[in-house]
């Protein structure tokens, strides 16, 4: 296989916070606590997990919107954590982001055309006004927007249209990779399908590489080539779409997939849903050993003593579980 476009190794993002007490002791909130992943040209890596598992923090750390505590983020052979401000700004041409809330991610005082053109104004100031206008109009057409609406403001568009503006803004620089942080979670179901299909279409036409973050496993199945399942800041299973959905091995992955609705009423009634007991533990003080053991239906005593490492299972996926072969 070719060299990865993006390589993340042992990435950690810890937030120091004050713990209430006599002396307000400082403790670390371990939002991301050792994530390693690789993304290859033209593929989509899906990142899934319940709320609070560190998905969005991981996305923002990769974009260097949040400081990393430890690890490395290598984009096209360059470690982003070692770049100065000017170097990082130049590197951003190759990696862009689509945000979760389409309306909140757009400047309400700027028109759609100004929003989409802003990256061009920043990185290519030599372009004339007409050249920028042509590029913006072409990009609007590409993402399914009407170029004649170039002077409308964000509040005049629907949620789905606002997300298309965000996609256009991310694509205008022709980046090598796009990080999609739950880009459809704030949209209606029918609009979600339109946006996912648009991203797939753009990926085919432009050769895009995507990191697609979501908590809806049915959406991730539709768009992803490989899938990373996260729990409490760490990966618990990584594999291809077929490996994860047809033969999940980690108990957490199995529980997540059992909660996905099946369109067939007969199959939906017959399926066994594995309900996770308890709440997600605090990332300030995660459980010893396996972090999932406090909610795992098959946990044993050794699970509290030994921290499992990601290893290849007989399904072909990499799984972080002491009981999986």
What pTM was computed for the model? 0.91
- Res 76: pLDDT: 93
End-to-end Cα, the chain, rounded Å: 25
Mark the ranges of the chain whose per-residue pLDDT is less than 50. none
- Residue showing tokens 């990256």: 119
- Res 210: pLDDT: 97
pLDDT tens string 4-26 = 999 999 999 999 988 766 566 78
Q: Which residues contact 251 (CB under 8 A, 6 or more apart)?
A: 274, 292, 296, 297, 298, 321
Angstrom CA distances, 268 to 180, 195, 218, 262, 264, stand at 30, 27, 14, 5, 6
DSSP secondary structure of 165-179 = HHHHHHHTT--SEEE
What are phi and psi for residue 49, nearest 5 degrees?
155, 160
For residue 72, give the 3-state DSSP assignment.
strand
Task: Pick the closest to residue 105 from 172, 150, 68, 159 (CA basis).
Answer: 159
Rounded Cα gap, residues 268 and 19, in angstroms: 45
- Res 280: pLDDT: 87
78 - beta bridge partners?
75
What are phi and psi for residue 124, nearest 5 degrees?
-130, 65
Length of the chain in residues, anyone? 325
- Res 274: pLDDT: 76
Between strands 6-19 and 70-75, the pairing is antiparallel
Tell me the domains of the chain and their CATH numbers. 6-82+231-319 (3.40.50.300)
Rounded Cα gap, residues 124 and 127, in angstroms: 6
Task: Pick the closest to residue 278 from 263, 291, 289, 294 (CA basis).
Answer: 294
Structure tokens at 1: 């296989």
- Res 261: pLDDT: 73
């Amino acid at each position: 296989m070719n060299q990865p476009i993006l390589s993340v190794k042992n990435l950690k993002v810890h937030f120091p916070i004050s713990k209430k007490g006599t002396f307000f002791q400082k403790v670390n909130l371990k939002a991301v606590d050792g994530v390693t992943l690789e993304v290859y040209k033209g593929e989509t890596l899906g990142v899934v997990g319940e709320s609070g598992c560190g998905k969005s923090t991981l996305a923002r750390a990769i974009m260097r919107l949040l400081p990393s505590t430890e690890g490395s983020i290598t984009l096209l052979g360059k470690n982003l954590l070692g770049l100065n401000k000017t170097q990082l700004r130049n590197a951003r041409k190759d990696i862009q982001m689509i945000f979760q809330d389409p309306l909140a991610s757009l400047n309400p005082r700027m028109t759609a055309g100004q929003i989409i053109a802003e990256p061009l104004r920043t990185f290519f100031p030599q372009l004339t006004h007409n050249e920028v206008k042509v590029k913006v109009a072409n990009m609007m057409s590409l993402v399914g927007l009407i170029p004649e609406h170039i002077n409308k403001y964000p509040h005049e568009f629907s949620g789905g249209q606002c997300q298309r503006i965000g996609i256009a803004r991310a694509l205008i620089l022709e980046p090598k990779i796009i990080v999609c942080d739950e880009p459809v979670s704030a949209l209606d179901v029918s609009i979600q399908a339109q946006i996912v299909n648009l991203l797939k279409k753009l990926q085919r036409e432009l050769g895009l590489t995507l990191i697609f973050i979501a908590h809806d496993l049915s959406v991730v199945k539709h768009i992803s080539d490989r899938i990373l399942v996260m729990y409490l800041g760490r990966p618990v299973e990584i594999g291809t779409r077929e490996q994860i959905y047809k033969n999940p091995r980690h108990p957490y992955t199995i529980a997540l997939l059992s909660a996905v609705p099946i369109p067939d009423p007969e199959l939906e009634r017959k399926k066994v849903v594995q309900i996770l007991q308890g709440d997600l533990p605090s990332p300030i003080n995660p459980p010893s050993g396996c972090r999932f053991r406090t909610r795992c239906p098959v946990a044993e005593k050794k699970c509290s003593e030994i921290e499992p490492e990601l290893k290849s299972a007989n399904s072909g996926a990499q799984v972080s579980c002491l009981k999986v072969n």
